[in-house]
Structure 1
Amino acid sequence: MVGPVWLSAALIVVGGVLFVTGGAGFLRDGRRIGAPIIAILGAGICALGVGLVLAVLGHPLLLVIVLVVAFGLLLLGNVVGYPLLVIFLLYAGITVLRRESRTLGNALALVAAIGLILLPGTLGWLAPSDVVRDDPAYLLRYAVHLAAILIVVYFGFAFAAFMIASLLYRWRRSRVVPEAVIVLGSGLIDGAVPPLLAARLQRGLQAQADFGGAPILIPSGGQGDDEPRSEGEAMREYLIAHGADPAAVVAETESRTTSENLRFSRTLLSEPDAPVVVATSSYHVFRTALLTRALGMRAHVVGAPTAWYYVPSAVLREFAGVMRDHWRVVAVSIALMVSGAVAFTLIIVPAMVPPAG
């Protein structure tokens, strides 16, 4: 009895600390990937601890619910969610290539679907035989297979964390009146504003209206090599043509990347830490939010609607961008997983070899 009670108490304390820490971090600044994940993990651990306590006292219902939910999520994710995800990515990937330009970025959903189809077979091909041996060929295959599984799980967890944090961030609202609404550029077509950019500009106008028209509008975008004029100029014309006060629209015309959009637009503010709202496409919201946090900006990012078939490839591109932005963390994590797989293979696997005879 004492053992389960102490274990339950430890789970409740650890879970509570994680939940409070993660929740407070998210409420303080939603531009974090880890904070909501820590809060959710803490809530689950705490619920497990409370369930164990109640089970010891003769009331096992909560523990049963926790275990059923955990098992159900695992079962649905693998048996139902995996094939549905593959089908959706295939359909979206083919649709976006039929309706949009055939670029690698637009093909990411289709590439991901093919990768998910091949993944189980690839891991099965890498798997060592069921009979454990200690010869070099077997140990090498075992280490490669284990490292591959760990890396797949790592990226799967990282993507899930990215999606959860991204969705939770979109529910937040700006708490202060911003000095400006920065609208990020996305490229012109023949010098004109295309639908994707128009949606961002309309979202910027809506954000300005949400605050009684007080914030100025900063359309941000430089001139590309294939563009007859800067995005900022074309965006400013669009905003004025759709009802914006010309005196309240200040174009930023030098930036070439999202980071430059933010940094160069920041120089047009009265103070570097003046609060702003940033308008972009829905799929681009969370990565932009992460960039504003890295730049130390007091910013809240809002998104414009995007065609459904375009979202999967765009989200995968954004996730790849976040992984690239944090490549040192990714590289260290992969190195640790590979090292762990090798160490396990060299130390533990030989001890698992059945005795001869």
Structure 2
Amino acid sequence: MYAFVPAALFLALFGVSVRADRRRFRNAVYLGLTFIFASIGLLTLVPDLPHGLGGIIVAMVFLVPALGTVALGVFLIGNGLTMVRKEGRRPANLLSFMAGVGIFALISFVLTLGNQGSQRWDAVVGGVVFLAGYVSFLFLCFLAYAYLYGRIKVRGDVDYVVMLGSGLIGGDRVPPLLASRLRKGMEIHDAQIARGGRVPLLLTSGGKGADEKVAEARAMADWLIAQGVPQDHVRLEDRSRTTQENLGFSREIMLAGDPGYRCVVVTNNFHAFRAAMTARKAGVNGQVLGSPTAKYFWPSATIREFVAVFWEHKIVNLGICGAIVALTATLAVNAG
């Protein structure tokens, strides 16, 4: 049972870290390491298990991920084609398609060059697989923990419901993606009132873009009021241009209104975990909840969010990737 000690250690670290703050990316990494070491622990039990059960464990650890990778590649390519058909051929809409193609390109690379009988090529293939494995590990950690984080519920009273802005249609109309956030904010607002708690203020956050006629916060507030929200329940933060500014400027307003405030921030579900990380850095006292997003839009948006999170930790991630490349180059040269 000693083989499960590392998994237990990382599970304990995960629990302590989540209890301290749910909004840290390291929580996702601890969770991923827990699963990896638990899988290794299961493999050490295989020789002592009945043949059928041992085979099931080996299949779970190796075969299921392999088949899952192929299935994921097919799904991403199909989703990419759907994105292009529904949203156009902008680079951001091609992310899932390119990721799916990348998966099959990597498989082809390994199968083609891994059978050359050359130590140099073996070193190169090993390095590429290790590099892809590292990025894939972080992505799966992000995906799993973002899903768990998205299960957070509002508990107790909140003073503010902050709704993050996005681009407007025609410069002054709320698009469906933003309307989803506003409806979620209204649900929280109404639920708080229904349970007899304090009446939270709805704080719309978003400045005026160069191609917009009004500030996003103004358009959002008008949408809420048109839906029946009392005007005195709405506040505006209309200076921000980025998520970081959304949260920073909103924090200033909330602190001015109540230094001991507690809030909930609303964005779309694919953006919730990264927004939560930004909220922590901005010193916002509250968790982030996600509103529904069209299913076909979610994969590309999630990949985009992961790329942003990866880059936010670029010193560590690029350092590790650089070390893998350097080690691969050294092994390839020495294999000469």
d(CA) in 2 for partners of 1:99, 1:272? 45
Deviations 1:164-207 (A, max 9, x none): 11011112224442221110111101111111111110011112
50 and 328 in structure 1: CA distance in 2 versus 1, 3 angstrom threshold? closer
d(CA) in 2 for partners of 1:86, 1:71? 20
CA-CA distance at 1:103 after TM superposition: 1.3
Matched, 1:229 2:214: yes
343 and 253 in structure 1: CA distance in 2 versus 1, 3 angstrom threshold? same
Aligned residue in 1 for 2:150:
170
d(CA) in 2 for partners of 1:118, 1:53? 35
300 and 78 in structure 1: CA distance in 2 versus 1, 3 angstrom threshold? same
Aligned residue in 2 for 1:313:
300
Matched, 1:262 2:247: yes
Seq. identity, %: 31
CA-CA distance at 1:66 after TM superposition: 7.6
Aligned residue in 1 for 2:320:
333
What secondary structure, in the 3-state scheme, does the structure 2 residue paired with 1:306 have?
coil
> Equivalent of 1:214, from 192, 199, 212?
199
Matched, 1:68 2:48: no
Name the stretch that deviates more: 116-125 or 228-237: 116-125
- Residue identity opposite 1:202 in structure 2: R
- Residue identity opposite 1:329 in structure 2: V
CA-CA distance at 1:65 after TM superposition: 5.2
Deviations 1:138-163 (A, max 9, x none): x4x45433322221111111110110
> Equivalent of 1:275, from 234, 244, 262?
262
d(CA) in 2 for partners of 1:41, 1:121? 28
d(CA) in 2 for partners of 1:299, 1:65? 45
- Residue identity opposite 1:82 in structure 2: T
Matched, 1:109 2:90: no
* 8 A Cα contact 1:108 1:316, kept in partner: yes
TM-score by length of 2: 0.87
d(CA) in 2 for partners of 1:12, 1:93? 40
Aligned residue in 1 for 2:138:
158
- Superposition pairs of residues 77-226 of structure 1, within 5 angstroms: 77-79=65-67, 81-127=68-114, 129-132=116-119, 139=120, 141-190=121-170, 191-212=172-193, 214-226=199-211
d(CA) in 1 for partners of 2:31, 2:85? 41
d(CA) in 1 for partners of 2:54, 2:234? 53
What secondary structure, in the 3-state scheme, does the structure 1 residue paired with 2:265 have?
strand
What secondary structure, in the 3-state scheme, does the structure 1 residue paired with 2:235 have?
coil
CA-CA distance at 1:115 after TM superposition: 1.8
Gaps of at least 5 residues in structure 1 are 1-7, 133-138, 351-357
159 and 244 in structure 1: CA distance in 2 versus 1, 3 angstrom threshold? same
Aligned residue in 2 for 1:30:
22
Matched, 1:17 2:2: no
CA-CA distance at 1:293 after TM superposition: 1.8
Aligned residue pairs, count: 329
Q: Looking at CA atoms only, which structure, 1 or 2, has the larger radius of gyration?
A: 1
d(CA) in 2 for partners of 1:278, 1:113? 32
* 8 A Cα contact 1:19 1:39, kept in partner: yes
154 and 129 in structure 1: CA distance in 2 versus 1, 3 angstrom threshold? same
54 and 196 in structure 1: CA distance in 2 versus 1, 3 angstrom threshold? closer
Deviations 1:86-115 (A, max 9, x none): 222222211122222431111211222222
- Residue identity opposite 1:225 in structure 2: A
CA-CA distance at 1:254 after TM superposition: 1.0
d(CA) in 1 for partners of 2:318, 2:85? 36
* 8 A Cα contact 2:95 2:303, kept in partner: yes
Gaps of at least 5 residues in structure 2 are none
CA-CA distance at 1:317 after TM superposition: 0.8
Aligned residue in 2 for 1:3:
none
Moved over 6 A (4+): 50-56
Name the stretch that deviates more: 329-338 or 204-213: 204-213
Name the stretch that deviates more: 293-302 or 255-264: 293-302
